[in-house]
Each structure stands twice: as C-alpha cells, then as structure tokens.
Structure 1
C-alpha cells in the first residue's frame, strides 16, 4: 500500500507591535489574519511575539531585548521564517536578518507570495511579477547573501527565485518591460469591455474570503475556483447572467484586505477597472467574521482610493448560516454580550437597517438561503439602471412607462 505524501509546512513565527496607533485588541485581530495568510502560503505558525512601544524601532522594528528573545527561540526551535505584521523598510529587513539569522518577511511580501501562488493566467502572473519587482528593487542591497541560504518556500516564488543574480539596472529594465506588457494587455481588455454592448455591469466586491466566488457560481452558473483560503481568486471573471427576462454582466474581482500593498493596487489596475466601470456594486460581507465591520471599512477605503465609492451599492451580508452557529456557540461561553455577539435579527435593527431594505440583504451563498429575495433585489436594481439609461428600450419591459412614473 502506497504511503501518502507528507505535506510540509514551513515553521514560522509571526511578530507585531502594540503602539499608540494600534491597540492590543487590534493587534490580535491583525495577527489572526496574518496567521491565516501564513497558512494560505503554506506555513505553520508556531508562536506569536509582540512588544508594547510608542512606535516601531527604525532600525530593528522591535527593541533589542525582544529581538534577542526571538532569536533564541528561532535557534532553539529550528524556525525557518519570521513574518512581521507591518511593512519593513529595507534597512530594517537587513538588520533583522543579521540578528535572527533566518528568512525575514513582512506582511506585504507574504501577500505578494500568495498572489504568486494563485496567479493562473499570463496576465495575473505579469501583474504579480511587476509588484514583486517593485517591492524588491529598494531591497537589493545585501539581499543576495541572505537569499542564498534559502531553498525556496514562502516569499521566494517568482522573481525571488529567478532574479537573484540581477542588479538594480536589470530589475529596472524588467519593471519597464512588464509595464509595457501590462499596457498592451490593458488596451486589449479595454476593447473587450467596450465590445460587451450596452448591458448593465454589476461587480462583486468585498474583503477576501467572504464568498464572492461562491455567490458568482450560484448566480452565474459559472465554475469559478472556490477555496476557504485568502485570495482564492485573482483573475477577474465576467459572466452574462439572466434574472427573469433581464440580462446583465456580473464580474467577480480580487478580494481586498487591510494593509493592501500599494504595489498590488497599482499593478492590478486593470482588474480594478472592472469595479470602476461597473454600474452597480454588490458589496459582499462575511457576517460570521467577528471583525466584519472593519472589513467593510477597509473595502470602502479602497473603493474611495479608486474613486468608486459613489456607485449604487447593495450590501450583501453572506454566511448567515455560519453566523447563527457562531452566536449559539458563543452564548455558552460569553457572559457579557458585545456587538460581536448580536443575533442576526438584532444586527438588522442596527445601522444595517438604516441602509434600507432595497440596499441590504442577508443570505447564505452555500445554502442558497434567501436567494429568491437576492435575485429580486438585484433584478430591480439592474432594471432601474437599464430603464434610466434606455427609457425607450421597451422590448424588455412592457411596463417601462409605469416604471418611469415610479
């Protein structure tokens, strides 16, 4: 009988800081997310370290004593990688590498590595490589001796493996080449978007791992890759969807995340163009996540950054089946009720209710719970946009005059 191949997980520690800008509770949330990112990348978090200080040390991020403690733990437990929750400067990364004597990554590098794993198409791979090169360029000094100790793994995919022998000039040339390649593809994609006709465009947006692709598959009858990991979808998928007698285009976009690297926002510009050019946004939220309100704020901030925050939006609170179980389990453990432990009905009576029934939905994409209401609300929103844009296009709507009067 053949033995199953043993799955190898890279032993890591994750590191953060409690500062005047980041409370202990907030740090715990960020480290939870950083651990999920690490698992997604193929790592195993063995221990967490943090230190309370006014601001990170400009040379070593943490204080000398804490760095010595981490270095001792890494040596004693054969830790391969140390991952910091905040982006490290090139000098910090260089100094920390000398002290800890292991692979050093920050949150940005980790996210870039996950994108490198997930990139399926040539376009996505080009976008990720551009972001990696832009991240790599200021960190070239002293990096090669650090990298030659490594044998691949988290943070060393893409340019990390293939461009070790390069110098700044070659990396700059590579960046210029990748930018030209992306410009060419962007033009092609712009032409494709212009050829889609006059159909209303609807775009799914939201934090990573909230169920956008599952919803896309359920509504559009498509076969978008779905997995309970962060950034399962990188490439934008566009499908023609028909609800009742009304066709429209539905696109699934890359998920957002807190502290999203600026390199990715820039290199994934064309992917975000689907959001910019959408007529209607479906903002999907994982209501079972304890920090879903922070996720909403992060998505809204990115929408503001790409000048798409003023578009008509329907808030879709997904995973209500998981939220119900979460509340039931929590009742046995928590004596003092907080906002994180409201029942679904109680949440509906809070600020969510102020959005209005037409702009708020509570569904389960996996269980297809409240799906008829979802289809009805989306249909009415798309229909309203279509009638406003084409008031005399009555072949779809025999009652279009009544709709205009409404």
Structure 2
C-alpha cells in the first residue's frame, strides 16, 4: 500500500468555523459513531475496534480507557483478548502503533509497510547500513524465534551474535544505536514476527518477540473505506493526516468510494450514512466519558477545534508555560472529559491520593459525578495508574494535577 508524504503525528490544520448548531450535531454524531453513547456495553474488544476505529497505543492507558468507556471492558478482558490474538498492537497507519482487531491485522500492516523501509533508507544514507546486512539479520532473528516463547531484545542480541552491529555515536544521535531495531521493524511490518507485552499489559512498555505468519495485504481504498466508516464526516485533510498518504495517493484511494459532501463544509461522508446523519438528533441528556487525550474521538481527525466550544478554547492549559490556551493546542495535554463529543474538562490520575483530579468546564451533575467515580474506581482497582504515554509518570504530571486542583479551588 502506497503512503508517505506525511509522517509522524502532525495534524491536518484548522478547519473552517462551523455554525454552532451544526457543530453540536457533528460532535454528538461523532461520539455516536465512536460508540461513546453508552449503547454498546458488553461488546468485545474486537467489536469495539472494528466499529469505532483503531486505538492509538503509546505505552499508556489509552486503549484501556477507550474500551472501558465504550463497552465497560475491564483490564482482564482486554488482556485476555490480546493473549488470544483477538486484538493486537501493530505498526499501522503512518508506521505508528495502534491496537487493531484481528479482522484488520493484514490491512493495518499494509498501511504501515512504508515506515521501516524509510528507516532503512535513512540508516543507509546516514549510518552506512546496507540492505544486505539488515536482511541477513532478519534471517538470523527468525531462526532464533519461536511462536510461543518470547525473546526480549537482549536475548535476541545474544541469540544472533555478531549479526547485530553497533552504530556508534552517530547512531545514538539519530536514535538507532544498533541495527537490531531496523530488522525488528521490518519483520513486524512483514507480519513475520510480532511484539508481545512481557506481562500481558498494554500500558507497560516491556516486550518480547515471537515468530508469526501474518499475511500483509490491503489497498489504500480499503483503508479509506474503513476510515470514513469510523470518522465521517471528515475532510480529505483529515484522511491524509490519519493515513499519511500523499495528495495523489489519497485522491486515488477516495476515487472508488461513494462520498457526498456535507453542505457548507469541506467534510465528506459515505452516501449510505448521509440519510442517517440527516435524521440524527443530538441526545438531550448528557453522555459523559473520561478518555485519554489521544482517544479516537480526537485523534482520528486530529483537529481539536471540532470538539471545543469557542469559550473553552480560551481556557489555560494546565501547568503550561507562556500562557498557552486550549484552543491553540494540536492535542490535549491532559486526559479529557467529553459529553456528546464536546470536550468539557481535563483530568489526570493522582496515584499517591489514588483519585482522579479534574478541571471541569460545566457544572457537575449526578451523571458526571457517576462517570468520574466509575472511571476512578477502574483506574484505581484495575490499572493502578492512568499514564498518558510510556514516559509519563506521577512526577511528570504533578504540575498539571496541582494546576487543576488550584483551578477547582478558584471555582
């Protein structure tokens, strides 16, 4: 599957300001399509991800929080689904790691296939790595691995001996100290090996690798079809952000799809959803969910202004320097509270006090207090913490927690 042209996590940029009534309807619709309306309790992890979209996974609590909010799934149920290969973390769109349902393993790998090739090209240019030595290392790794006994990177290095080469100071500066990550990335993208959490948990980045035989197949049009089923109405820019496709590849991917424009916007949706969207009415009652800042409700489009009321856009980012405000951010700098698609608060977990600390944009009613309490109990009893990403820690988030507490005290 062709991609490239954009990479990493750069967003699509700001979209046109929408009529407030349409903006509220769109938010509620996106939340509905994202299964954040409370209607799917008890669904499996695979069902949630197939219907609402792949979940970005960066060694934090985001997948657990998203599956808990959408289907009430506890950690044990999610970990069991991972162990049974009903869902799995794989390098996918833009080469980034997502939690995917089994039905999308082949497509996800195809979507991310270009990333390790780009890494090897860069290493060849800047570090003198040859394609031949990477391929020979790949063979040595697959010979060393078995399907059921994970080896961590130190054990793999020991098993393959001299096939791994150190890349010196130049490699360290470029974030590639040996040739091993290049080979592991290539083998994962080919579906020949998979990465397994050492303790079965998605929120602790310690991994081993096992042998695998997963087909890699899928077209750009298939990815586009999936994306617009999860994220529509969405713009071409939104799709390019998610996929990492060039303008030409995105245009070709969208050509077979029957997409219709939403009048007055640059947003598109499949024709089979147009009538349903037309008749959709935003729920009158709140539908609260506590999510990670990288949850799909935001990250499928990565256009934060869609989910933020204009008055809330002027709110200070907790503990941010330089007077930064929420509306100026590409991504939330905290976990988020949402109601019918609108972000209505920030939150973090205080692991010392074992409680959620929040800064709300709306007066808390009984439903919001219940949602906070339910999520707090889940984090405390099943996760122990709610890290935003792998390097997040109680110490690093302490300033944000203090800022949120101070804001709450001010009322």
TM (normalized to structure 2)?
A: 0.27
Larger RCO (CA within 8 A; separation ≥ 6): 2
TM (normalized to structure 1)?
A: 0.27
Larger radius of gyration: 1
